Amino acid sequence: MNQTLPTFHHSGTLSSSAERNRVLRNTYWLLALSMIPTVLGAWIGVETGIARAMSPGIGLVVFLAGAFGFMFAIEKTKNSAAGVPVLLAFTFFMGVMLSRLVGTVLGMANGASLVMTAFAGTGAVFLGMATLSSVIKRDLSSMGKWLFIGAILLLVAGIANFFIQSGALMITLSVMAIGIFSAFILHDLKRVKDGYETNYISATLGVYLSLYNVFQSILMLLGLGGGRDE
Protein backbone atom coordinates (compact mmCIF):
# COMPACT_ATOMS: atom_id res chain seq x y z
CA MET A 1 0.00 0.00 0.00
CA ASN A 2 1.20 3.46 -0.78
CA GLN A 3 1.57 4.94 2.72
CA THR A 4 1.07 8.60 1.91
CA LEU A 5 1.19 11.22 4.64
CA PRO A 6 0.18 14.86 4.34
CA THR A 7 2.39 17.64 5.63
CA PHE A 8 1.50 20.33 8.15
CA HIS A 9 2.53 23.98 8.09
CA HIS A 10 2.89 26.86 10.48
CA SER A 11 2.73 30.58 9.89
CA GLY A 12 4.99 33.40 10.96
CA THR A 13 7.46 35.76 9.33
CA LEU A 14 11.14 36.54 9.59
CA SER A 15 12.25 39.99 8.54
CA SER A 16 15.99 39.28 8.59
CA SER A 17 17.49 37.51 5.59
CA ALA A 18 20.26 36.24 7.88
CA GLU A 19 17.70 34.54 10.10
CA ARG A 20 15.93 33.06 7.09
CA ASN A 21 19.22 31.66 5.81
CA ARG A 22 19.94 30.23 9.26
CA VAL A 23 16.59 28.41 9.34
CA LEU A 24 17.16 27.12 5.80
CA ARG A 25 20.71 25.99 6.61
CA ASN A 26 19.56 24.19 9.77
CA THR A 27 16.74 22.59 7.79
CA TYR A 28 19.18 21.18 5.23
CA TRP A 29 21.51 19.88 7.93
CA LEU A 30 18.73 18.24 9.93
CA LEU A 31 17.23 16.80 6.75
CA ALA A 32 20.57 15.20 5.88
CA LEU A 33 20.92 13.89 9.44
CA SER A 34 17.41 12.41 9.33
CA MET A 35 18.45 10.14 6.46
CA ILE A 36 20.74 8.18 8.82
CA PRO A 37 18.02 6.81 11.16
CA THR A 38 15.75 6.28 8.15
CA VAL A 39 18.30 4.05 6.43
CA LEU A 40 19.12 2.35 9.73
CA GLY A 41 15.44 1.69 10.41
CA ALA A 42 14.91 0.31 6.91
CA TRP A 43 17.98 -1.95 7.25
CA ILE A 44 16.88 -3.28 10.64
CA GLY A 45 13.37 -3.77 9.30
CA VAL A 46 14.63 -5.76 6.32
CA GLU A 47 17.04 -7.86 8.42
CA THR A 48 14.55 -8.66 11.19
CA GLY A 49 11.42 -8.78 9.03
CA ILE A 50 9.53 -6.91 11.75
CA ALA A 51 7.35 -5.00 9.30
CA ARG A 52 6.67 -8.04 7.12
CA ALA A 53 5.75 -10.04 10.20
CA MET A 54 2.75 -7.78 10.75
CA SER A 55 -0.39 -8.48 8.75
CA PRO A 56 -1.25 -5.75 6.22
CA GLY A 57 -4.13 -4.56 8.41
CA ILE A 58 -2.03 -4.39 11.58
CA GLY A 59 0.78 -2.74 9.60
CA LEU A 60 -1.59 -0.03 8.38
CA VAL A 61 -2.86 0.69 11.91
CA VAL A 62 0.66 0.77 13.35
CA PHE A 63 1.86 3.05 10.55
CA LEU A 64 -0.96 5.57 10.86
CA ALA A 65 -1.02 5.57 14.68
CA GLY A 66 2.76 5.79 14.96
CA ALA A 67 3.22 8.42 12.27
CA PHE A 68 0.50 10.79 13.48
CA GLY A 69 1.52 10.20 17.10
CA PHE A 70 5.11 11.16 16.30
CA MET A 71 4.00 14.21 14.30
CA PHE A 72 1.92 15.37 17.27
CA ALA A 73 4.94 14.89 19.56
CA ILE A 74 7.21 16.79 17.16
CA GLU A 75 4.75 19.68 17.09
CA LYS A 76 4.75 19.79 20.89
CA THR A 77 8.54 19.63 21.25
CA LYS A 78 9.70 21.65 18.24
CA ASN A 79 10.75 24.61 20.39
CA SER A 80 12.59 22.53 23.01
CA ALA A 81 15.78 20.48 23.22
CA ALA A 82 13.71 17.32 22.73
CA GLY A 83 12.56 18.39 19.27
CA VAL A 84 15.49 17.02 17.27
CA PRO A 85 15.64 13.61 19.07
CA VAL A 86 11.88 13.15 18.64
CA LEU A 87 12.16 13.98 14.93
CA LEU A 88 15.03 11.52 14.48
CA ALA A 89 13.07 8.83 16.34
CA PHE A 90 10.22 9.49 13.92
CA THR A 91 12.48 9.06 10.90
CA PHE A 92 13.75 5.76 12.34
CA PHE A 93 10.15 4.58 12.70
CA MET A 94 9.40 5.63 9.13
CA GLY A 95 12.44 3.66 7.95
CA VAL A 96 11.18 0.54 9.70
CA MET A 97 7.76 0.99 8.09
CA LEU A 98 9.42 1.44 4.68
CA SER A 99 11.28 -1.86 5.07
CA ARG A 100 8.34 -3.95 3.86
CA LEU A 101 8.45 -2.29 0.42
CA VAL A 102 12.25 -2.14 0.33
CA GLY A 103 12.52 -5.81 1.28
CA THR A 104 10.04 -6.81 -1.42
CA VAL A 105 11.96 -4.88 -4.09
CA LEU A 106 15.32 -6.19 -2.87
CA GLY A 107 13.93 -9.70 -3.31
CA MET A 108 13.85 -9.11 -7.07
CA ALA A 109 16.82 -9.98 -9.27
CA ASN A 110 17.50 -6.31 -10.00
CA GLY A 111 16.20 -5.07 -6.64
CA ALA A 112 19.37 -3.30 -5.49
CA SER A 113 19.57 -1.29 -8.72
CA LEU A 114 15.88 -0.35 -8.41
CA VAL A 115 16.42 0.96 -4.89
CA MET A 116 19.44 2.99 -6.01
CA THR A 117 17.47 4.32 -8.99
CA ALA A 118 14.63 5.41 -6.68
CA PHE A 119 17.16 7.07 -4.38
CA ALA A 120 18.80 8.90 -7.29
CA GLY A 121 15.41 9.94 -8.66
CA THR A 122 14.37 11.33 -5.28
CA GLY A 123 17.64 13.22 -5.02
CA ALA A 124 17.08 14.70 -8.48
CA VAL A 125 13.57 15.81 -7.50
CA PHE A 126 14.89 17.46 -4.33
CA LEU A 127 17.72 19.21 -6.18
CA GLY A 128 15.30 20.44 -8.83
CA MET A 129 12.75 21.76 -6.34
CA ALA A 130 15.46 23.37 -4.18
CA THR A 131 16.82 25.14 -7.26
CA LEU A 132 13.36 26.31 -8.29
CA SER A 133 12.69 27.63 -4.78
CA SER A 134 15.73 29.89 -5.19
CA VAL A 135 14.81 31.04 -8.70
CA ILE A 136 11.06 31.67 -8.36
CA LYS A 137 10.34 35.11 -6.95
CA ARG A 138 6.56 34.99 -6.56
CA ASP A 139 4.88 33.99 -3.30
CA LEU A 140 3.78 30.33 -3.47
CA SER A 141 2.13 30.14 -0.05
CA SER A 142 -1.38 30.13 -1.57
CA MET A 143 -0.76 26.76 -3.24
CA GLY A 144 -0.34 25.09 0.14
CA LYS A 145 -4.04 24.53 0.82
CA TRP A 146 -4.56 22.87 -2.58
CA LEU A 147 -1.56 20.62 -2.08
CA PHE A 148 -2.81 19.71 1.39
CA ILE A 149 -6.22 18.79 -0.01
CA GLY A 150 -4.51 16.68 -2.67
CA ALA A 151 -2.42 14.90 -0.02
CA ILE A 152 -5.49 14.13 2.08
CA LEU A 153 -7.29 12.74 -0.96
CA LEU A 154 -4.24 10.58 -1.73
CA LEU A 155 -4.24 9.28 1.83
CA VAL A 156 -7.94 8.42 1.69
CA ALA A 157 -7.60 6.80 -1.74
CA GLY A 158 -4.56 4.85 -0.52
CA ILE A 159 -6.49 3.48 2.45
CA ALA A 160 -9.39 2.60 0.13
CA ASN A 161 -7.03 0.80 -2.22
CA PHE A 162 -5.79 -1.25 0.71
CA PHE A 163 -9.18 -2.98 0.56
CA ILE A 164 -9.73 -2.72 -3.21
CA GLN A 165 -6.22 -3.96 -4.14
CA SER A 166 -6.26 -2.36 -7.59
CA GLY A 167 -2.90 -2.35 -9.36
CA ALA A 168 -4.02 0.36 -11.79
CA LEU A 169 -5.16 2.61 -8.92
CA MET A 170 -1.89 2.00 -7.09
CA ILE A 171 0.09 3.13 -10.14
CA THR A 172 -2.15 6.18 -10.56
CA LEU A 173 -1.77 7.14 -6.90
CA SER A 174 2.01 6.70 -7.06
CA VAL A 175 2.29 9.00 -10.08
CA MET A 176 0.05 11.59 -8.42
CA ALA A 177 2.01 11.35 -5.18
CA ILE A 178 5.28 12.08 -7.00
CA GLY A 179 3.75 15.20 -8.52
CA ILE A 180 2.00 16.47 -5.39
CA PHE A 181 4.89 15.89 -2.99
CA SER A 182 7.46 17.28 -5.41
CA ALA A 183 5.37 20.45 -5.43
CA PHE A 184 5.22 20.27 -1.62
CA ILE A 185 9.03 20.30 -1.47
CA LEU A 186 9.09 23.46 -3.59
CA HIS A 187 6.34 25.02 -1.49
CA ASP A 188 7.96 24.19 1.86
CA LEU A 189 11.44 25.37 0.89
CA LYS A 190 9.98 28.57 -0.56
CA ARG A 191 8.16 29.20 2.72
CA VAL A 192 11.47 29.05 4.55
CA LYS A 193 13.19 31.32 2.03
CA ASP A 194 10.31 33.83 2.25
CA GLY A 195 10.30 33.77 6.05
CA TYR A 196 6.87 32.16 6.52
CA GLU A 197 8.31 29.08 8.24
CA THR A 198 10.35 30.12 11.27
CA ASN A 199 11.08 26.75 12.88
CA TYR A 200 13.65 24.49 11.22
CA ILE A 201 12.27 21.34 12.89
CA SER A 202 8.83 21.98 11.39
CA ALA A 203 10.44 22.78 8.04
CA THR A 204 12.47 19.57 8.14
CA LEU A 205 9.41 17.50 9.01
CA GLY A 206 7.48 18.84 6.03
CA VAL A 207 10.29 18.33 3.51
CA TYR A 208 11.16 14.90 4.96
CA LEU A 209 7.59 13.64 4.58
CA SER A 210 7.52 14.83 0.99
CA LEU A 211 10.84 13.15 0.18
CA TYR A 212 9.66 9.97 1.89
CA ASN A 213 6.53 9.86 -0.22
CA VAL A 214 8.40 10.65 -3.44
CA PHE A 215 10.97 7.90 -2.79
CA GLN A 216 8.29 5.38 -1.83
CA SER A 217 6.20 6.18 -4.90
CA ILE A 218 9.15 5.97 -7.30
CA LEU A 219 10.24 2.67 -5.75
CA MET A 220 6.68 1.35 -5.99
CA LEU A 221 6.51 2.20 -9.70
CA LEU A 222 9.93 0.71 -10.39
CA GLY A 223 9.04 -2.45 -8.52
CA LEU A 224 5.77 -2.83 -10.40
CA GLY A 225 7.11 -1.96 -13.82
CA GLY A 226 10.80 -2.79 -13.88
CA GLY A 227 11.29 -5.60 -11.43
CA ARG A 228 12.53 -9.05 -12.42
CA ASP A 229 11.86 -12.04 -10.22
CA GLU A 230 14.84 -14.10 -9.15
Angle value at C-alpha 63, between 61 and 68, nearest 5 degrees:
100
Q: Count the helix, strand and coil residues of the chain and give each as a percent rounded to the nearest 5.
A: 80, 0, 20
Per DSSP, 145 falls in state H
Higher pLDDT, 53 or 179: 179
Tell me the domain boundaries of the chain.
17-226
> Average pLDDT in the 93-102 region?
94
> Average pLDDT in the 172-199 region?
92
How confident is the model at residue 218, as a pLDDT?
Answer: 95
Pairwise CA distance, residues 128 & 125, whole Å: 5
Pairwise CA distance, residues 178 & 100, whole Å: 20
Query: Rg of the chain over CA atoms, in angstroms?
Result: 17
At 54, the pLDDT band (50, 70, 90 cuts) reads: confident
What percent of the chain shows pLDDT beyond 90? 60
Which of 97-106, 120-129, 162-171, 181-190 is predicted least confidently?
Answer: 162-171
Higher pLDDT, 138 or 124: 124
Pairwise CA distance, residues 3 & 164, whole Å: 15
pLDDT of 3 strictly over 70: no
How confident is the model at residue 1, as a pLDDT?
Answer: 45
- The per-residue pLDDT for range 153-176, each reduced to its tens digit, is 998 998 888 888 888 888 999 999
| pLDDT, averaged across the chain | 88
Angle value at C-alpha 140, between 136 and 142, nearest 5 degrees:
165
Give me the phi and psi of 108, to 5 degrees please: -85, 160
Q: State whether residue 121 is helix, strand or coil.
A: helix
At 228, the pLDDT band (50, 70, 90 cuts) reads: low
User: Residue 33 burial (CB < 10 Å; 0-12/13-18/19+)?
Assistant: middle
pLDDT of 187 strictly over 50: yes
Pairwise CA distance, residues 180 & 154, whole Å: 9
> Average pLDDT in the 198-218 region?
94
pLDDT of 215 strictly over 90: yes
Among 111, 118, 2, which Cα is nearest to 56's?
Answer: 2
